[in-house]
Structures are given as structure tokens and as C-alpha cells.
Amino acid sequence: MEIKAGEFFALLGPNGAGKTTLIQILTGLCNKTSGEVYLFNKDVYKDYQEARALIGLVPQEFNFDIFEKVYNILYYNAGYFSIPAKEREARIKKILTDLNLWEKRNTPARELSGGMKRKLMIARALIHNPKILILDEPTAGVDVETRKTMWDYLKKLNKDGTTILLTTHYLEEAEALCERIAIINKGKIVTLDTKENLLKTHNKKLEEIFLHLTKNDQ
């Protein structure tokens, strides 16, 4: 499987299909058993530090210090990538403003709504200006209005050049955002094509295509 630079790519599949495992391999959180994995020509194992710096990861679960203030969470994370203090401040203000979180900068994370916590996860992933943003169920549990604003922000981010890999159980999300879609089941890709070709070839809605392909591969 190859994802093109600047692409908005969806990886779909039922629970246990291997989506999160693939993401963990890309980010070095688990070891592959075979094959080769590259991010912008950097081997994720041999060139780990360089490859990792290219990635912004938004995992499924909240994994920040809930007692820390929003601003500090981003400030400390920027430090992991050796971003100078003065530059951190400007980046944090821009990202939080873009995500409508600037007014919450001094609020402890535990006091944020679920949607705001999701936005904070995205903000943290973007603090070092990664080339590729990996979103693992980024809008799970988010209300419709917040989801739409997040979609608009992600579309703009992608238009500005950021490559985005999305996993989601909201098939309308993949249909609204992504150019190409891969459906994975039991660790194998059962189809990979443009959204337009998938819909045209099967003459069905994406949800029906998904159910048909994953059922046949059970």
C-alpha cells in the first residue's frame, strides 16, 4: 500500500481488522514481523528519529495529563521536538486559535468537553508541523456540529499540503473527506481505490460496499 504525499487517505475496517496495528507500526509503537515501511523515504526502524519527526499522531484514547493546562500540554510537547521557546508560543497561539481553543489555554484539560479534548489531541499532534497527520478515530463521541468544524479544519490542513491518514467507523466521514479509500479485514487489504471508483464500480453507498466486502472476507 502506498499513500501519496498530500493525499487525504482513509483506512477502513471492522474492529480487529488491523487498522490500529498498522498505525502502531508506522509510529514505532510495535514491531513489524516482516516487510518494509517508509515515511517520505525514511525507514521507520532504521531512521526512527527522522521518521517519527515527520508524524503527528492522534490516537483513539486521550493520553495527555488531564490535570495540566491546555497551553502547557502543547508547550511541553513542542519541547520534545526541540522547538525554541519563542517559536513555541507563536505556534501554540495559531493552532489553538484555528481550533477555537485559545480562550481555553489556561484551562485544565479535565475541564474540557469531549469535543474540545479531541481538538486538543489534534493541536498537540500538529505542534511540530508534521508532514503526515495520522488520525485514529478522531471524532469518536463528538457531536455533529463539532465534527463538522473539525472536518473543515482538516480539509484546510490537507489543502495546505499535510498528508492525512484517517481511520474511522463513521463511513460518511471517509466519504466526505478522503480521495482514496482502503478497506482492510483480518490484516489484509480487500480493496483500495478512489472514492469515486468504489461508488461507481459497486453502484452502492460506501456503507453497503464496506459491509459487503468485509462480510465476504470473514
Percent of the chain at pLDDT > 70 equals 99
Could you tell me if 183 and 214 are in contact, meaning their C-beta atoms sit under 8 angstroms apart? yes
Q: Which CATH number fits domain 1-54+130-218: 3.40.50.300, 3.20.20.150, 3.20.20.140, 2.60.40.3140?
A: 3.40.50.300
Q: What are 212-216's contacts with CB under 8 Å, separation 24+?
A: 213/183, 213/185, 214/13, 214/14, 214/17, 214/183, 214/185, 214/190, 216/190
Identity of residue 74? L
List the chain domain ranges: 1-54+130-218, 65-129
Per residue in 65-110, pLDDT (tens digit) is 999 999 999 999 999 999 999 899 999 999 999 999 999 999 999 9
- Could you give the C-alpha distances from 187 to 18, 19, 179, in angstroms and in order? 5, 8, 22
Nearest to 70 by CA among 97, 105, 111, 41: 105
**Region of poorest pLDDT, from 2-6, 19-23, 178-182, 207-211:** 207-211
Mean pLDDT of the chain: 91
Tell me the C-alpha distance between 131 and 40, whole Å.
Answer: 9
Per residue in 131-166, pLDDT (tens digit) is 999 999 888 888 888 899 999 999 999 999 999 999
Tell me the C-alpha distance between 80 and 203, whole Å.
Answer: 48
